[in-house]
């Protein structure tokens, strides 16, 4: 049974375009389809009824990376270093996440996705790490190419993510200037960077809801034959959980 994975997108209007364009890095699609799933793109251009029908079809949800979450969503004024916000995307992803949790869909939240997950469940964010955590020894917007890993992280031994990775230490990439500040009450932090920043979370209320601050879709293709690759293991596990759901629905 081929699982269908909904992946959230954003919208932009380039100067040369006649109207808004739906945007998604292809790596998200390639990462889930490499493990036997089929990607379904969810965009801010879709109406609420269409999004609901698509959620009824899919067997898992990926909240993708991208621009900053509007700080008004967690009751804060914008920081001077706040990046681009897209209210249409925020509205779509908050609604899609609520619908996915209501349906019991497995959710994998990546980079911006884990930030949005945290805000949606009652947490807050650092709006700009360089200015709000100036003493950190880690630069979280790496200078290295996107296919390289940047810093170490520690994994909680008795966590779902530890079971997936089979390791207590990781070496991960890092492409973000925002991150979780106050953790949402229903989330559990299970991965931390060397400077104490939260890098991975799991839901304590839903069966398979996982968020990571790094980009596993970028590291997953690295040594694709190596089953010890933590990013490959994470994406395989997510697709496998979605596949189990798809088989149960058919059964």
Q: What are phi and psi of 247, to 5 degrees?
A: -65, -35
Q: For 26, what's the count of Cα atoms within 13 Å in the CB-facing half-sphere?
A: 1
Whether 160 is a known active-site residue: answer no
Token look-up 């209320």 returns 205
Task: Give which of 28, 193, 224 is closest to 112, Cα–Cα.
Answer: 28
**Residue 95 DSSP code:** H
Nearest residue to 81 via CA among 131, 31, 145, 39: 131
Q: 93, 199, 202, 217: which one is catalytic?
A: 217
Alpha-carbon distance values, 213 to 45, 49, 70, 102 (Å):
26, 30, 18, 24
In the set 59, 140, 177, 215, the catalytic residue is 215
d(CA 183, CA 227): 31
30 included as an active-site residue: no
Contact 235, 216 (CB under 8 A): yes
Using DSSP bridges, classify how beta strands 21-23 and 107-110 pair: parallel, antiparallel or unpaired: unpaired
Contact yes or no for 174/151 (Cβ under 8 A): yes
* Known active-site residue 217: yes
Catalytic residue among 35, 111, 151, 177: 111
Catalytic residues, which ones?
A: 111, 215, 217
């Amino acid at each position: 049974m081929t699982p269908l994975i909904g992946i959230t997108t954003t919208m932009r209007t380039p100067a040369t375009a006649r109207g808004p364009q739906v945007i998604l890095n292809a790596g998200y699609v390639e990462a889930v389809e490499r493990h036997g799933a089929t990607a379904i793109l969810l965009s801010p251009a879709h109406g609420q009824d269409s999004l609901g029908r698509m959620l009824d079809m899919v067997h898992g949800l990926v909240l993708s990376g991208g621009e900053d979450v509007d700080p008004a969503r967690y009751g804060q004024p914008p920081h001077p270093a706040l990046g681009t916000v897209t209210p249409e995307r925020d509205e779509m992803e908050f609604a899609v996440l609520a619908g996915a949790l209501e349906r019991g869909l497995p959710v994998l939240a990546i980079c911006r996705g884990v930030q949005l997950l945290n805000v949606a469940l009652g947490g807050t964010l650092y709006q700009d790490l360089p200015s709000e955590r100036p003493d950190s020894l880690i630069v979280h917007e790496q200078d290295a190419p996107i296919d390289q890993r940047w810093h170490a992280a520690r994994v909680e031994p008795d966590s779902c993510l530890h079971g997936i990775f089979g390791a207590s230490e990781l070496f991960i990439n890092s492409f973000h200037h925002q991150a979780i500040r106050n953790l949402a009450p229903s989330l559990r932090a299970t991965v931390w960077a060397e400077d104490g920043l939260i890098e991975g979370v799991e839901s304590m209320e839903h069966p398979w809801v996982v968020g990571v601050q790094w980009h596993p879709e970028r590291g997953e293709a690295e040594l694709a034959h190596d089953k010890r690759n933590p990013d490959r293991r994470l994406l395989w596990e997510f697709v496998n959980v979605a596949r189990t759901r798809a088989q149960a629905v058919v059964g």
